[in-house]
Amino acid sequence: MLEQYLQGAITDLQQLIDITHQDIADIQIANNEAIFSRNESKNSLIKSFEQKKILIEEEMQQLMDKNPQDKLQDLLPPEVDKGLDTLRKVLVELKKLNSAYAQSVFAVSEFYSSLLTRLIPHEENGYGVSQASVRLLQTQA
Percent of the chain with pLDDT over 70: 86
* Alpha carbon distance 73, 35 (integer Å): 41
pLDDT digits (tens, 9 = 90+) for 108-137: 888 888 888 888 876 666 665 555 555 555
| HSE value, Cβ hemisphere, 13 Å, CA-based, for 114 | 6
Domain assignment present for 130: no
Q: Are 35 and 26 in contact (CB under 8 A)?
A: yes
Q: Are 49 and 16 in contact (CB under 8 A)?
A: yes
pLDDT for residue 116: 83
Domain assignment present for 29: yes
Domain assignment present for 34: yes
- 57 DSSP assignment: H
Domain assignment present for 129: no
pLDDT for residue 126: 60
Domain assignment present for 104: yes
Would the CA dihedral through 16, 83, 53, 89 be positive or negative?
negative
| CB-based burial, 43-65: b 16+ in 10 Å, e otherwise | eebeebbeebbebbeebbeeeee
**Amino acid letter, 99:** S
Domain assignment present for 133: no
Domain that holds residue 36: 1-119
Domain assignment present for 125: no
Domain assignment present for 57: yes
Q: What is this structure's pTM?
A: 0.78
* Alpha carbon distance 36, 49 (integer Å): 20
Number of folded domains that form the chain: 1
